[in-house]
Structure 1
Amino acid sequence: KSGGLALYAHEGWKRYTTLVGPIATFGYWIGWSVVLSVFGLFIGQIVQGAWFAGEPIGSPLGEGYFSSGGAEVGLPQLIGIGLVVSVWLFNIFGARIGVTFGYLAGALLMIPLALFMFAGYVNGDFSGNNLNNQLNDGGLAWGGWQLAIVWLWLMAWSAWGVDAPATFAPEYKDTVRDTKLALRSAALFSLAVYILLPLGLVGSVGEETVAAYDYVGALNTLVGGGGATDFFVIVICASFIISMNTATADGGRALYGISRDGMTIKQLSVLNRFHVPGNAMTLDLVVNILFLLFIGNIFGILAASNLGYVLSHFFALTAFILLRRDRPLWPRPIRLPNFWVPIAGLLAVLVAGLTVVGFGWFQTAAGGYGGTKEKIIGVSVLAASILLFLFRRIVQDGERPQWREETPATPDEAPAPAV
C-alpha cells in the first residue's frame, strides 16, 4: 500500500483506536510538506547572499518588500514561493519528470557534499579547536541538557527522512528486494553524511559561519571564492530542490494512502490523468505558500510542523511492537530479528521524551524562532486530521465513526465486524 510509515502506524494501532491513523498521517505529511517552504526559503537566502545582497531579506533577519501581517516578505520568501510552485509542476504532471530531475541534481549534490566533508582536511583549514558543543556555557537550563534535547527534537525533522523509500514501495519493480535495498542504502548514506558533514564543515569554517547559515562564506573559505563559489552555490541549490521534489511526492502519497484506507476525505485519494495524487500535492502547494507568507522563517516553520512529524515516528515504533504481538502469523516479506522489539520500545521512549521537551521548550531554547503561534499551528494540524476523519466517516461514507477495528490474525481470515 501507499502511505509508508504513517499507514504502518495505522495498521498497528487501529485495533485499539482509529484516531492514530489520521494523526500519524497528517503529522507525517506536514513534516514532509514543509520541506518545500523550508528549503525554498533556504535557497532564497543562499541566492540572495551570493548575488543579491542589497535586496530585502525579510523575516526573521530584516525588513522585506512588504509585510503580510505575520512576517516580512523579502526576496528569499518570494524565491521560495516560486520554487514551491515549480516543484509542484514537476510532480503534478507525473513522477517521471521529477525523477529524471532528481537523478541529475542528486549526482551534482555529491560534489559540494564531498567538498564540505573533506576539503578542510586536504587544504589544511580543519582544526579540532573549532569543534565545540557549547553545552558547558554558563546559565543554560538543566546544565545544557534542555538546549541539547530541543535541538535533537528539531534535527529529527531532517535526520529521520530515511523512511521516505517505504512510501514509494508499491511503485518499485520488485517490491520486497527494492524496498530493502532503498531503505538500507538510504540509512547507511545518511549515517555517513550526518557523521562526516558536521565534523568536516564545522571543523573547517567554524561554528559561527555554520550557525549563521553562511554557506557562501563557507564556500569562499574552502575554494577561495570567485567562479568556483558561484558554481557550488548553483549545485547546492539544485541539491535542495531534490529534497523539495521528494517531499511533495512523499507527502502526497502519504495522504493518498490514508485516504484510500478511509481515514480522511475522499478527495485526497483521487489520482489525476498523469496517475499521481494531484489533489494531495495541491494541498501541499497551498499550505507551503501560506507558511512562507505568514511565518517566513525557517525554524518557525520547522517548529510548527515538527510535533506531528516526530509523533508519527512514535506511533510507527509502537505499531511495530503491537503488530509483532497481535499478528505473529502475519506474512512478513521483510523480516527483522526479535531483538528489534525491545530496541523499538527503547526508541519509542526516547522519541516520547524528545517530544515532551522539544515541543514544551523550543521557544526558549531554540533562539526565539518559535512561540505560541507555532505551537497552535502544530496542534491545529493534528486536530484537523481528526475532524477530517469524522467528516469522511459521517458525511462522505454515511456511517457512524468506528473508534477501533478488529483485525484478522492472517490475511486469509475474514475481518471481524468493526465496533
Structure 2
Amino acid sequence: MCTPLLNVVFVVAGSTAGALGIWGAAVVCIVLAGVSMLQNYLFAEMAAMFPGKPGGVALFAAEAWKQFSPLLASVAAFGYWCGWGLSLSLASLQIGQIITAQWFRTAVDQSFNLGVASIGLPQILAAAVMTVAVGANLLGLNATVNLNKVVAAAMVVVLAGLIVLPVFSADWSTASFSFNLLGEGNGVVSLLVWMYVGAWSIYGSELCATFAPEYRRPVRDTKRALKTMAMIYILVYALVPVATAGAIGEQGVIADPVNFGVNFYSQMLGGPAGAVVAVILVIATLAALLSSSADASHALKGLAQEKLTIIQLARTNKRGAPSGALIFTLVVNLVVLFFVGNIVAIIIAANLGYMVSVTLATAGFLIMRKTHADIPRPIRLGPYWIPVAAAVTVFNGTILVAGALNPGLAAGGQGTEILIALVLLLLGAFFYWVQRRFQTTKVSNSKKPPERIVSDGPASEKPNK
C-alpha cells in the first residue's frame, strides 16, 4: 500500500524545495503529515460506523451529504476517484522520465510540439507502460500481490539509504540549504499552493484509517497505525530530501526532482549502483501502476453499483475484470498524460477532485454527529474533536481554493490541469444525471459482489496511490 506513496516523495519534496528551499519543503511536509494524522482520526471513527461498506473517504463524504444533495455526494465520490485514478498517468510518466534520464539521456530535452501538447520520449514510454498495465488487468492477471511485497522491501532499503548514507559523505553540509517559506514574492499564497500539491501524496495515509473496522482490536490498532504512518511520512518526506541534499547540494535536488535519489547513489556508490536503484524505482512504480489501475477501476465500478454514476462503468468482461471502468480510466489518463504532460501539473489536476472529496468528508464528520447520532461508533472521539474537525475542514478548504486558483505558482502549473480537473468533476455530475434520468435498470446481481461483513477476513477494496 505504501510503495506508490513513497515513490512520490522525490517529485513532491524536490519540486517544493525548488520554490521554498529545502527547509521550507521540510516544514510543509511536516505540517501536512500532522494535519493528515488529525483527519485520519476523524476518518477512523467514520470507517467504524460503516463496517460492511467499502469506499473510504468517498463513502464518508457521500453518506454525510447525500441527504442534502445526492448530486454533491456523487461529485465527492467521483472526485475521490479522480485523485486516485489519475495516479496512473503520474506513475507511468515517472517511469518514462526515469528510463529516459538513465538510459536515453540524449532524448531528455527532445519533444514534438503539437501546439496544444508537447510529446517526448517520457510521454511515449508512459503511454505504452500504462496501456500494458491496463491490458494486464483486463486479462485478469494478478501479478502484483507477491511483487508488491518484494518491491516494498526494496523501496524501504533505498529510502533508508537516502537517509543514512549521506551522513558518511565527507562533503555533507547544509550550507547550500535555503528557507523561502513564503516563496519568491508571492507570500502566503505560494505556501498554500505547495501545501495543496503535497497534500495529494501525504494525505494518502488515510488508507490505514479506512481499514479501521478490519483490525482485530479497532481502537488500539487504529491509533497505533495512525501514529506509525504519521512518523513514517515525517521521516520520509522531511528527512529524505534534507539528508540527500546535504550530500549533493540543494540544487542537485531541485534540478532533477524525479531522479535525485538515483543521482545520489550514482555519486556516492558509482554508476552501477545508480542503475540498480533506477531499476528498483521503475519496478516499484510499475507495481504501483498495476495495483492503482486495478483498484481505481474497482472503485469506479463500485460507484456505478451504488447508482452514483452510469451503469456502463459497472460492466465486467469474461474474466471478471471491470472492463468498462478500466477502459474509461485508461482513456482519461491518456488525455491527461498528453495534454498536461508534467508530473507536478498532473498532481495539481488529480488533487482538485481529491481535495474536494476530503474536505467534504471532514465536514461530513461534523454533519454525521447530528444526522447519524444513532449509528453505533466503536471508535468514538471525544467532544474536543469537534473544533479539530472544523479547523481541519477550514485548512483543507483554504489550500484547495489557493491551489485551484493559483496553479501557476507551482512548477509546471499553467491552468490547463485545473480545467481538465473541473471537466472531470462536471463529467461525474453529468454521469450521475444520466444515471438518474435514463438508467433505471438495476445492475445485475450476478455482477455485484457480496457485501463484505467485517471480521478477520480480507480487506475492503480500496484504490491505492
Coarse TM-score class (shorter-chain normalised): 0.7 to 0.9
The offset of 1:206, in angstroms, is 2.2
> Which amino acid counterpart does residue 6 of structure 1 have in structure 2?
A
Is it true that 1:197 corresponds to 2:249 in the alignment? no
CA distance in 2, matches of 1:177, 1:266: 37
Is it true that 1:380 corresponds to 2:423 in the alignment? yes
- Kept after mapping to 2: 8 A contact 1:98/1:245: yes
1:35-114 equivalences under 5 Å are 35-55=87-107, 57=108, 62-64=109-111, 66-94=112-140, 96-114=142-160
Task: Give CA deviations for 1:368-403 in whole Å, capped at 9, x if unaligned.
Answer: x2223222212111111111111000100289xxxx
1:406 maps to none
- Kept after mapping to 2: 8 A contact 1:95/1:276: no
1:23 maps to 75
Q: How many correspondences in the alignment?
A: 386
The offset of 1:169, in angstroms, is 8.0
- Kept after mapping to 1: 8 A contact 2:83/2:351: yes
Unaligned runs of 5+ in 2: 1-52, 443-465
Percent same amino acid at aligned positions? 31
1:413 maps to none
Unaligned runs of 5+ in 1: 400-419
1:332 maps to 377
1:262 maps to 307
Is it true that 1:313 corresponds to 2:365 in the alignment? no
2:403 maps to 358
Task: Give CA deviations for 1:131-161 in whole Å, capped at 9, x if unaligned.
Answer: 3222367x5123xx22211111111111111
The offset of 1:234, in angstroms, is 0.7
Secondary structure at the counterpart of residue 385 of structure 1: helix
> Which amino acid counterpart does residue 126 of structure 1 have in structure 2?
W
CA distance in 2, matches of 1:90, 1:278: 11
CA distance in 2, matches of 1:173, 1:341: 25
Match of 2:344 among 284, 299, 304: 299
TM-score (normalizing by structure 1): 0.83
The offset of 1:85, in angstroms, is 1.9
Secondary structure at the counterpart of residue 134 of structure 1: coil
1:4 maps to 56
The offset of 1:26, in angstroms, is 1.9
Is it true that 1:347 corresponds to 2:392 in the alignment? yes
- Kept after mapping to 2: 8 A contact 1:317/1:344: yes
2:47 maps to none
TM-score (normalizing by structure 2): 0.75
Aligned in 2, Cα 1:262/1:125: closer, same or farther, shift over 3 Å? farther
Aligned in 2, Cα 1:393/1:136: closer, same or farther, shift over 3 Å? closer
- Kept after mapping to 2: 8 A contact 1:166/1:183: yes
Aligned in 2, Cα 1:246/1:361: closer, same or farther, shift over 3 Å? same
Aligned in 2, Cα 1:349/1:250: closer, same or farther, shift over 3 Å? farther
The offset of 1:112, in angstroms, is 1.3
Secondary structure at the counterpart of residue 54 of structure 1: helix
